[in-house]
Amino acid sequence: MNDNLINVIDVEATCWTGDPPPGQVSEIIEIGLCVVDLAAGERVSKRGIYVRPARSEVSAFCTELTGITPAQAASGVSFDEACALLRTEADSLTRRWVSWGEYDRLQFERQCRGRGTYPFGQRHINLKKLFTEAHGLKKRPGMSRALGIAGLPLEGRHHSGADDAWNIGALLLQLHTAGHL
Protein backbone atom coordinates (compact mmCIF):
# COMPACT_ATOMS: atom_id res chain seq x y z
CA MET A 1 0.00 0.00 0.00
CA ASN A 2 1.38 3.37 -1.05
CA ASP A 3 0.35 5.93 1.60
CA ASN A 4 1.80 8.74 -0.51
CA LEU A 5 -1.03 8.50 -3.05
CA ILE A 6 -4.35 10.00 -1.99
CA ASN A 7 -7.60 10.09 -3.98
CA VAL A 8 -9.40 13.41 -3.89
CA ILE A 9 -13.09 12.94 -4.69
CA ASP A 10 -15.73 15.53 -5.55
CA VAL A 11 -19.19 14.56 -6.74
CA GLU A 12 -21.88 16.45 -8.55
CA ALA A 13 -25.43 15.22 -8.14
CA THR A 14 -28.82 15.94 -9.65
CA CYS A 15 -30.33 19.01 -8.04
CA TRP A 16 -33.25 21.39 -8.30
CA THR A 17 -34.11 24.88 -7.08
CA GLY A 18 -36.43 23.33 -4.47
CA ASP A 19 -37.51 19.82 -3.60
CA PRO A 20 -36.95 17.06 -6.15
CA PRO A 21 -39.86 16.41 -8.51
CA PRO A 22 -42.14 13.57 -7.36
CA GLY A 23 -40.44 10.18 -7.67
CA GLN A 24 -36.95 11.62 -8.14
CA VAL A 25 -34.00 11.60 -5.72
CA SER A 26 -30.65 13.34 -5.80
CA GLU A 27 -28.02 11.01 -7.25
CA ILE A 28 -24.43 11.28 -8.42
CA ILE A 29 -23.97 12.33 -12.05
CA GLU A 30 -20.23 13.07 -11.97
CA ILE A 31 -17.37 11.75 -9.90
CA GLY A 32 -14.34 14.01 -9.99
CA LEU A 33 -11.06 12.33 -9.13
CA CYS A 34 -7.66 13.89 -8.57
CA VAL A 35 -4.79 11.67 -7.46
CA VAL A 36 -2.25 13.48 -5.28
CA ASP A 37 1.27 12.17 -4.70
CA LEU A 38 2.34 13.59 -1.33
CA ALA A 39 5.95 12.44 -1.70
CA ALA A 40 6.33 14.23 -5.05
CA GLY A 41 4.23 17.17 -3.84
CA GLU A 42 2.04 17.19 -6.92
CA ARG A 43 -1.33 16.36 -8.37
CA VAL A 44 -0.64 13.53 -10.78
CA SER A 45 -3.98 12.93 -12.49
CA LYS A 46 -7.42 14.41 -12.99
CA ARG A 47 -10.54 12.68 -14.23
CA GLY A 48 -14.27 13.18 -14.40
CA ILE A 49 -16.52 10.14 -14.61
CA TYR A 50 -20.03 10.89 -15.83
CA VAL A 51 -22.64 8.69 -14.16
CA ARG A 52 -25.98 7.93 -15.77
CA PRO A 53 -28.80 8.78 -13.35
CA ALA A 54 -31.25 5.94 -12.71
CA ARG A 55 -33.87 7.67 -10.55
CA SER A 56 -33.73 11.32 -11.57
CA GLU A 57 -33.26 13.70 -14.47
CA VAL A 58 -30.76 16.52 -14.88
CA SER A 59 -32.70 19.77 -14.42
CA ALA A 60 -31.98 23.07 -16.18
CA PHE A 61 -30.86 24.42 -12.78
CA CYS A 62 -28.43 21.50 -12.41
CA THR A 63 -27.00 22.10 -15.90
CA GLU A 64 -26.55 25.80 -15.14
CA LEU A 65 -24.78 25.02 -11.86
CA THR A 66 -22.56 22.12 -12.96
CA GLY A 67 -22.35 22.46 -16.73
CA ILE A 68 -23.51 18.84 -17.05
CA THR A 69 -26.22 18.44 -19.67
CA PRO A 70 -28.86 15.70 -19.64
CA ALA A 71 -27.15 14.18 -22.70
CA GLN A 72 -23.74 14.07 -20.99
CA ALA A 73 -25.21 12.39 -17.93
CA ALA A 74 -27.19 9.95 -20.07
CA SER A 75 -23.98 8.95 -21.90
CA GLY A 76 -22.24 8.13 -18.61
CA VAL A 77 -21.62 4.75 -17.06
CA SER A 78 -23.90 3.19 -14.47
CA PHE A 79 -23.25 4.00 -10.83
CA ASP A 80 -22.04 0.43 -10.21
CA GLU A 81 -19.64 0.70 -13.17
CA ALA A 82 -18.32 4.02 -11.84
CA CYS A 83 -17.66 2.44 -8.43
CA ALA A 84 -15.85 -0.45 -10.14
CA LEU A 85 -13.68 2.06 -12.06
CA LEU A 86 -12.69 3.74 -8.80
CA ARG A 87 -11.72 0.39 -7.29
CA THR A 88 -9.68 -0.79 -10.28
CA GLU A 89 -8.20 2.42 -11.68
CA ALA A 90 -7.72 4.44 -8.49
CA ASP A 91 -7.14 1.62 -5.98
CA SER A 92 -9.90 3.23 -3.93
CA LEU A 93 -10.35 0.41 -1.43
CA THR A 94 -6.83 0.79 -0.05
CA ARG A 95 -5.88 4.44 -0.62
CA ARG A 96 -6.78 7.21 1.77
CA TRP A 97 -9.35 9.52 0.26
CA VAL A 98 -10.29 13.12 0.74
CA SER A 99 -13.42 15.15 0.15
CA TRP A 100 -14.38 18.74 0.97
CA GLY A 101 -16.76 18.14 3.86
CA GLU A 102 -18.99 15.14 4.45
CA TYR A 103 -21.44 15.57 1.57
CA ASP A 104 -19.53 13.38 -0.91
CA ARG A 105 -18.97 10.53 1.56
CA LEU A 106 -22.59 10.60 2.70
CA GLN A 107 -23.90 10.71 -0.89
CA PHE A 108 -21.86 7.60 -1.73
CA GLU A 109 -23.10 5.86 1.42
CA ARG A 110 -26.74 6.68 0.57
CA GLN A 111 -26.41 5.59 -3.02
CA CYS A 112 -24.54 2.38 -2.14
CA ARG A 113 -26.90 1.31 0.65
CA GLY A 114 -28.04 -2.25 -0.02
CA ARG A 115 -25.97 -2.54 -3.22
CA GLY A 116 -22.58 -3.73 -1.96
CA THR A 117 -20.79 -1.32 -4.28
CA TYR A 118 -19.19 1.14 -1.82
CA PRO A 119 -15.86 1.88 -3.52
CA PHE A 120 -13.82 3.25 -0.62
CA GLY A 121 -11.97 2.00 2.43
CA GLN A 122 -12.44 3.54 5.84
CA ARG A 123 -9.58 6.05 5.62
CA HIS A 124 -11.51 9.21 4.75
CA ILE A 125 -10.25 12.73 5.47
CA ASN A 126 -12.70 15.61 5.75
CA LEU A 127 -10.41 18.28 4.31
CA LYS A 128 -12.88 21.09 5.04
CA LYS A 129 -12.67 20.29 8.76
CA LEU A 130 -8.87 19.95 8.66
CA PHE A 131 -8.51 23.24 6.74
CA THR A 132 -10.78 25.05 9.21
CA GLU A 133 -8.77 23.80 12.19
CA ALA A 134 -5.40 24.49 10.53
CA HIS A 135 -6.39 28.09 9.79
CA GLY A 136 -8.06 28.71 13.16
CA LEU A 137 -11.38 29.57 11.55
CA LYS A 138 -14.69 29.54 13.42
CA LYS A 139 -16.81 28.74 10.37
CA ARG A 140 -16.03 26.09 7.76
CA PRO A 141 -15.55 27.77 4.37
CA GLY A 142 -16.68 26.53 0.99
CA MET A 143 -13.96 25.29 -1.33
CA SER A 144 -13.83 28.48 -3.40
CA ARG A 145 -13.46 30.66 -0.30
CA ALA A 146 -10.82 28.30 1.10
CA LEU A 147 -8.76 28.71 -2.07
CA GLY A 148 -8.87 32.49 -1.53
CA ILE A 149 -7.82 32.14 2.12
CA ALA A 150 -4.96 29.88 1.02
CA GLY A 151 -3.89 32.27 -1.73
CA LEU A 152 -4.56 29.69 -4.44
CA PRO A 153 -6.39 30.28 -7.73
CA LEU A 154 -9.63 28.56 -8.65
CA GLU A 155 -8.67 26.47 -11.66
CA GLY A 156 -11.42 25.50 -14.11
CA ARG A 157 -15.15 25.63 -13.47
CA HIS A 158 -16.51 25.63 -9.93
CA HIS A 159 -19.06 22.80 -9.53
CA SER A 160 -17.34 20.62 -12.11
CA GLY A 161 -16.44 17.44 -10.22
CA ALA A 162 -13.09 17.03 -12.00
CA ASP A 163 -12.10 20.69 -11.59
CA ASP A 164 -13.23 20.84 -7.95
CA ALA A 165 -11.28 17.66 -7.15
CA TRP A 166 -8.22 19.26 -8.77
CA ASN A 167 -8.64 22.41 -6.66
CA ILE A 168 -9.18 20.40 -3.47
CA GLY A 169 -5.97 18.54 -4.38
CA ALA A 170 -4.13 21.89 -4.30
CA LEU A 171 -5.54 22.61 -0.83
CA LEU A 172 -4.49 19.13 0.30
CA LEU A 173 -0.93 19.69 -0.89
CA GLN A 174 -0.74 23.05 0.87
CA LEU A 175 -1.97 21.55 4.16
CA HIS A 176 0.49 18.67 3.79
CA THR A 177 3.41 21.02 3.12
CA ALA A 178 2.47 23.03 6.21
CA GLY A 179 2.54 19.84 8.33
CA HIS A 180 -1.22 19.50 8.91
CA LEU A 181 -1.57 16.06 7.32
Give the CATH number of the domain where residue 125 resides.
Answer: 3.30.420.10
Half-sphere exposure of 120 (CA within 13 A, CB side): 20
Q: Which helix (H) or strand (E) holds 63?
A: helix 60-66
Question: Could you give the C-alpha distances from 147 to 137, 174, 179, in angstroms and in order?
Answer: 14, 10, 18
- The model's pLDDT over 141-150, given as tens digits with 9 standing for 90+, comes to 999 999 999 9
- Average of per-residue pLDDT across 122-139: 97
Mean pLDDT of the chain: 96
Question: Could you give the C-alpha distances from 25 to 36, 105, 119, 160, in angstroms and in order?
Answer: 32, 17, 21, 20
The pLDDT, as a whole number, for residue 181 is: 85
Determine the Cα–Cα distance for residues 115 and 158; give it in Å rounded to an integer.
30
CB 140 within 8 A of CB 164: no
Give the chain's domain count. 1
- The model's pLDDT over 41-87, given as tens digits with 9 standing for 90+, comes to 999 999 999 999 999 999 999 999 999 999 999 999 999 999 999 99
Neighbours of 178 (CB within 10 A): 11
The pLDDT, as a whole number, for residue 115 is: 84
What spatial distance separates the first Cα and last Cα of the chain, rounded to whole Å?
18
The pLDDT, as a whole number, for residue 1 is: 59
- Average of per-residue pLDDT across 78-100: 97
Total-model pTM: 0.96
Residues of the domain holding 146: 5-177
